[in-house]
Chain A
């Protein structure tokens, strides 16, 4: 019982054993010792709350937030002790904030509930007591046999028992899980695959043993024990036997499977878990500011308390005759009184902490992030993908990026492979018109004639067309029916209409290429593969597939040839295969591979090994042993693989081109101009990487490229690093690029981190090649934790980039061909690399400016709000009398001043987006959190204090001592003359404050849409209307009617109007002057670019948004032209050169940072001298 409770509470992990035992169809053994294991049911619960626990759980989560908790404490203090303001003043805003957040979260949870119910209520067919029963998805239990029909998704993680095919295979797609669109073949164990009907299944006696649930989609270790005629047969189970929940059945009529992981224990659900929270730099500084303000608050409260007691030392002030204390007050102990006075001051001043800051920031982020998804410029037409926001918390971080880490394949390149060249047995070949032609020769054979291939060529092509895991789509039943025999040679359409599905685009490209060259891969059905060499069909029996993995960097197949021999084909990275080859043209091939790489091609090396029958038996046993192992299967498989893949005969190498994505060069150039350092991290070979890097503009031709490659020992590495550092120091005019490879990097990171960092920082471009996924993340972390703590962004498209995407401050996924894993783990997802420029330069810039102003303004307006209250204490003997009415205290933050800043923070555009995109330099204006630096914070805070002083003392001088404010009745005859009390004074201060604070924001606003107008003037109008209304009624439930007609009386005084105007003008005038002076004397580059001459701005604004990128391009091409002029065309007239260098000089004068990064500038002196 106790244990059950502990389990329910989550203290004990419910599963004790390492494996779970599943009795198929829940037929438990009748004899022997049997402990039933408890499994979760098949309900998917993605929702956080239920109706019952929503209120407590949500409240608990919200109050874990420090600001909310603070206000809760204030509220409780107000409830407990006698405080100047009623608990409502802090209770209501808190309630408002909590409610808004709760509604948002509740709504999101409701949506999740709806989705859950839909999933959990979906009809499924389960075999129970000998017949097929329809039930709901949530009722599936572990051990149930489930039937799934074609094109249905699997309702739980199933072990495949049988399919309608005799070989027990089925095809599935896992698009919704990892985005891979290829068809995957899954297998059933031979003993169960015969159970194709319910009745046969009924007779099946089997037990599945497998590991406990884990999140890795591609790992499954288990075994099935089938009892047939009293004897037990054990078979291994691997990921190829497991059908994952969420995947979809394809090309197969129906299958039966036994549920092993259900509900929240299925692999899909385990992958749901939310990502670790990333926090933006703005949020961090926001918290710092909050702490500073807490300090100010405490200081003010302590000061007031001390002064109060200093004042009260004299008896007559402690208790003047007209203000007797109650008995209770007189009797309470001094210490208690002191504490309660302190708390009362705390309550009085607590509004200095902006309560609605968090909720406004949250709303701004949530609503603001829609603009990214809506942006047409981030929409990719070809793939029908728009940008996707997974976390809105990081919007502003996009404006702070200093380092971009990008993957190469699929990110900079299209990941659309084209076979280009190959090397067979030491000879280079090219593909010309679908024929393999040795280099140097032209395709002179007449069309249609069958080319003659030598034995080596043929073997190479066969190897390429067999050694892969490509699937063929049969999705053309009509066509098949019409064409009769689908594989008839006569019409040959079958080969033409065939479509390949591959998880790796390289494989697809290679198989397609061999098909064009006459060796076509035509069918595979698990056990056999069929190819047609020039129409002649050959069947190979597939014995084993040695799958690809990132560490081995190669994959192999073992086949039985039609002639009966056994052969292993392997292909992989050259470094992973060449060391194991023993025959073939190794040296020549190596040379060729390097040549291919230099051209930017992706290279693969192909090799084979023939087995003698004895060898094969050994290999087979070895593999089977490894595959059935329950413990340490991975390690044992690795051993087996390396045992098999040796003594290889080199066949040749292939070169596949990966096309560069659109506008990569321009994007990288723009990022560089924006002061962002771009690092390329790739798994490719060093030569390939460098050549791609050059072609995409990451490395310039003018750069001095430093290398840190193939370091074997620590000392060597350190020595090399020191050498590089020296070279950089000696030669700081020219730009440097650094190339590092994975092995050297890990050496450099192990011991010489500092030295390495120094070298890296002085290089304008860094390229890391041969990187393992974890190494990528390590590099990101290294930069992230370096003393300057730069903001990093990682962008990638594949599963190998996930760790780096999660590590970086901002992770961006490319919706590419390599599945959705990167997208799922990213914070933002875009379709193409080129969108990064707009995402950072425009959206990032906007969001940063918006949120920075939002934060500063919030602190400012609360200082304005509460400081007069503090000052008033000096006039009322620190008796904690409030200056404003409670209702005003309550509504100031949630009604009177909340909307303008929210609208501002959604729509503000300091500079036109096109200008931002064309002038990446503007990005530097906001780098390193400059708008939230301590200086600007101080400016806003001091401004708040100054304004507060002006409000208070302005009003004080006006009506403080003994002046009469009312006239003799021109305005309201009935109220001739009259006296103003303290509430009128407070209202005057408050009115001035609301107007000033709203207008201050209006001064900051640079982009006045109708909404800004509406909320700005609307807020002021609302304040007036509300005050008239509030003051116009005797409120039955209030114990004092302090505000009754106060506002009307105030407004009917002419001098009050004059005072309001002059105080507002006095407050805002210096600000205007300051802005104008700064703009004229020290304009920032942002301000400069605001003054785009009107006609041009007009032209920009009427341009269609789709043209935007063209415009950006024209900017970039202008730049490129300039570059050309400066670097290349020195033969041009001296005149021209002179002009160019002159313009350069003026450039570097005004903006000295240009000289640090722009190669043109650093080169210009040389040009000049040459001219």
Chain B
């Protein structure tokens, strides 16, 4: 009632004189003028340059060795199963952790239908989905007998199944197998949450997967992928998980193993010397004119050998500096006293 009375005065319809309604909210109005921008530009230029130099130094500390396929395709025979050995020599000491990658060129993991052809519900260990894979897996959903495939889909089906052994030829003619970690290659969350084997109650993996077929191109069923480590079998096999993270581009590399620095002479990394890589050759690449490669690299805190970032920072810093100088000149000549801004 009182409110109504207040609203019935002679100025009843007078709008509120509030900052909001009168569009007078306190506000900050920055202006992009040389005076405000130039110091900022110089700071940025210096900052970018410094970062660039720092990144460059860091990158220079990484070492990378890439062995492309032509070097081992000569030895390669057309047989489906074949083993070959490749000699390489490392002329520098790789310090710290050495990462062993395999790479593929021209292999499109990013095709839409290929990428869709997987069943994460099956891989996360749901029993129901194990026996009835998603239709997205077509045509790798069921084998010719009608048995559900586990893991289903084109991605799992086309897993890279070459295996590598790195051998160190010591100075005294001795050969030592370089020990590689074959686990710890995946994201923690992938290994422990996103990929699970179906619940095992006193059953072996083989029993759990009973009633499913192995993928068409596979030699071994999923529960026998790693003969050495029984905990690395089934859907949580690390090679499988690594493969299942589809690459964005047709040329990619994926992690195969990490140097295990427990024993001499590898405690400091890979020592200088001759090495050979023994490859059991399973994965055909000639159909898609692909190539394989093997990469040995060390990494720093921000990743492997990547010259893009330092160069980008240096170039950007340089450009900013250049433009800042030009702007300073212009400002000095035309607009210092703001005469252009006068009306």
Taking Cβ atoms with an 8 Å cutoff, the residues of A that contact B are: 84, 316-317, 320-327, 370-371, 373-376, 379, 381, 384-386, 846, 875-877, 879-882, 907, 909, 913, 954, 956-968, 970, 972, 974-982, 984-986, 1003, 1006-1012, 1034, 1039-1041, 1044-1045, 1048-1049, 1053-1055, 1058-1059, 1062, 1065-1066, 1069, 1072-1073, 1075-1077, 1079-1081, 1083, 1085, 1087-1091, 1101, 1105-1106, 1147, 1150-1151
Residue of B nearest to A963 (CB): B306
Q: Are B302 and A1058 in contact (CB under 8 A)?
A: yes
Alpha-carbon separation in the docked complex, A879 to B110 (Å):
8
Q: Which of A371, A381, A1072 contacts B14 (CB 8 A)?
A: A381
Determine whether the beta carbon of A881 is less than 8 Å from that of B51: no
Q: For A1150, what are the chain B residues with a Cβ–Cβ distance below 8 Å? A: 343
On whether the beta carbons of A1059 and B29 are closer than 8 Å, the reply is: no
Q: Contact at A1090–B31, with CB atoms within 8 Å?
A: yes
Measured between beta carbons, the chain B residues less than 8 angstroms from A1054 are 301-303
Q: Give the docked Cα–Cα distance between A1038 and B341 (Å).
A: 58
Is B53 located at the chain interface by the 8 A CB criterion? no
B251 nearest CB neighbor, chain A only: A961
Report the separation of the CA atoms of residues A470 and B24 in the bound assembly, to the nearest whole angstrom: 47
Asked if A1055 meets B189 with Cβ closer than 8 Å, knowing A323-B111, A326-B139, A1073-B323, the reply is no
A316 touches B288 (CB 8 A): yes
Nearest 4 A/B pairs, CB to CB: A964-B304, A322-B158, A982-B248, A374-B21
A-chain residues with CB within 8 Å of residue B37 when the two chains form the complex: 1072, 1076
Query: Chain B nearest CB: distance from A493 CB in Å?
Result: 26
Q: How many residue-residue contacts, CB under 8 A, span A and B?
A: 295
A880: which B residues are within 8 A, CB to CB?
Answer: 112
Identify A981's interface contact among B10, B55, B134, B245, CB under 8 A: B245
Contact B249 A975 (CB under 8 A): no
8 Å CB contact of A373 from B15, B34, B51, B254: B15
Give complex CA distance A385, B13 in Å.
7
Query: Known contacts A84-B112, A379-B15, A386-B15: does B254 contact A979 (CB below 8 Å)?
Result: yes
Q: Given A384-B13, A979-B255, are A324 and B154 also a contact pair (CB < 8 Å)?
A: yes
Whether A375 lies near B15 (C-beta < 8 A) is yes
A1055 touches B138 (CB 8 A): no
Q: How many positions in chain B have a CB within 8 Å of any CB in the partner chain?
A: 110
State whether the Cβ of B132 lies closer than 8 Å to any Cβ in chain A: no
The smallest beta-carbon distance between A801 and chain B, in angstroms, is: 24
In contact, B34 and A1069 (Cβ under 8 angstroms): no
Q: Does B214 contact A (CB under 8 A)?
A: no
Contact at A1008–B121, with CB atoms within 8 Å? no
Which of B79-87, B262-270, B292-300 lies at the binding interface? B292-300
Spell out B's residues near A (CB within 8 Å).
10-17, 21-34, 37, 44, 48, 51, 55, 96-97, 99, 101, 103, 107-121, 124, 134, 136, 138-140, 154, 157-158, 184-190, 193-194, 242, 245-255, 258, 284, 287-289, 295, 297, 299-306, 308-309, 312-313, 316, 319-320, 323, 327, 330-331, 334-335, 338, 340-343
Known contacts A84-B112, A1040-B116: does B246 contact A1049 (CB below 8 Å)? no
Q: Which residues from A are CB-within-8-Å of B140?
A: 324
For the complex, give the distance between the alpha carbons of A1073 and B316 in Å: 13
Can you give 16 A-B contacts (C-beta < 8 A)? A317-B288, A374-B16, A384-B10, A882-B112, A958-B309, A961-B251, A962-B251, A965-B306, A979-B254, A981-B245, A982-B246, A984-B248, A1008-B28, A1044-B194, A1081-B340, A1088-B343
Complex contact A322–B27 (CB within 8 A): no
In Å, the complex CA distance between A959 and B308 comes to 9
Structural contact, B112 and A881, CB atoms closer than 8 A: yes
Picked from A376, A977, A1006, A1066, the residue with its CB within 8 Å of the CB of B29 is A1006
Give bound CA distance, A1083 to B342, whole Å. 10
The answer to whether A1062 touches B316, judged by C-beta atoms less than 8 angstroms apart, is yes
Q: How far is the CA of A978 from the CA of B113 in the complex (A)?
A: 25
Indicate if the CB atoms of B113 and A323 lie closer than 8 Å.
yes
Q: Which residue of A lies closest to B52 (CB)?
A: A1062
Q: How far is the CA of A354 from the CA of B34 in the complex (A)?
A: 35
**Contact A379:B248 (CB < 8 A) given known A976-B184, A1081-B334:** no
User: In the complex, what residues of A have CB within 8 A of residue B258's CB?
Assistant: 976-977
What's the nearest-Cβ distance from chain A to residue B310, in Å? 9
Contact of A1039 among B121, B308, B331 (CB under 8 A): B121
Given A1008-B30, A1054-B302, answer yes or no on A1044-B189 (Cβ-Cβ < 8 Å): yes
What A residues does B252 contact at CB under 8 A? 961-962
Chain B residue, CB-CB nearest to A1059: B309
Q: Which residues of A contact B343 (CB under 8 A)?
A: 1085, 1088-1089, 1147, 1150-1151
Whether B112 lies near A876 (C-beta < 8 A) is yes
**CB-CB < 8 A to B158: which residues of A?**
321-323
B330 to chain A, nearest CB (A): 6
Residues of A within 8 Å of B297, CB to CB, are 964
CB-defined contacts of B23 to chain A, threshold 8 Å: 371, 375, 846, 907, 909, 913
Complex: A1065 Cα to B252 Cα, angstroms: 28
> Judging by beta carbons under 8 Å apart, are A1055 and B309 in contact?
yes
Extra contacts, 20 of them, besides A964-B297, A978-B255, A979-B247 (Cβ < 8 A), are A321-B288, A386-B14, A877-B111, A881-B112, A960-B248, A963-B304, A965-B303, A967-B303, A968-B300, A977-B99, A981-B247, A985-B248, A985-B249, A1008-B28, A1040-B116, A1041-B124, A1054-B302, A1058-B51, A1105-B22, A1147-B343
B139 neighbours in A (Cβ, 8 Å) = 324-327
A891 to B116 Cα, complex, angstroms:
22
Contacts of B44 in A (CB 8 A): 1065
Q: Are A962 and B253 in contact (CB under 8 A)?
A: yes
Q: Which residues of A contact B134 (CB under 8 A)?
A: 1039
Residues of B within 8 A of A985 (CB): 248-249
Best-buried of A386, A1048, A1080 by chain B (most CB within 10 Å): A1080
Interface centre among A370, A984, A1069 (most CB of B within 10 A): A1069
Determine whether the beta carbon of A980 is less than 8 Å from that of B248: yes
A976 proximity list for chain B (CB < 8 A): 97, 184, 258
Given known contacts A384-B12, A1055-B302, is B110 in contact with A876 (CB within 8 Å)? Answer: yes
The distance from the CB of A959 to the nearest CB of chain B, in whole angstroms, is 8
A959 nearest in chain B by CB position:
B248
Minimum distance in angstroms from B259 CB to a CB of chain A: 11
User: How far is the CB of A561 from the nearest CB of chain B, in Å?
Assistant: 45
Most B-side CB within 10 Å, residue of A959, A1040, A1150: A1040
CB distance from B23 to the nearest CB of A (A): 6
A980 to B103, CA, bound (A): 14
With A374-B15, A374-B16, A1006-B30: A981-B111 Cβ-Cβ less than 8 Å: no
Chain A residues with Cβ below 8 Å from B295 are 962
- What's the minimum C-beta distance from A717 to chain B, rounded to whole angstroms? 44
* Residues of A with C-beta under 8 A to B330: 1077, 1080-1081
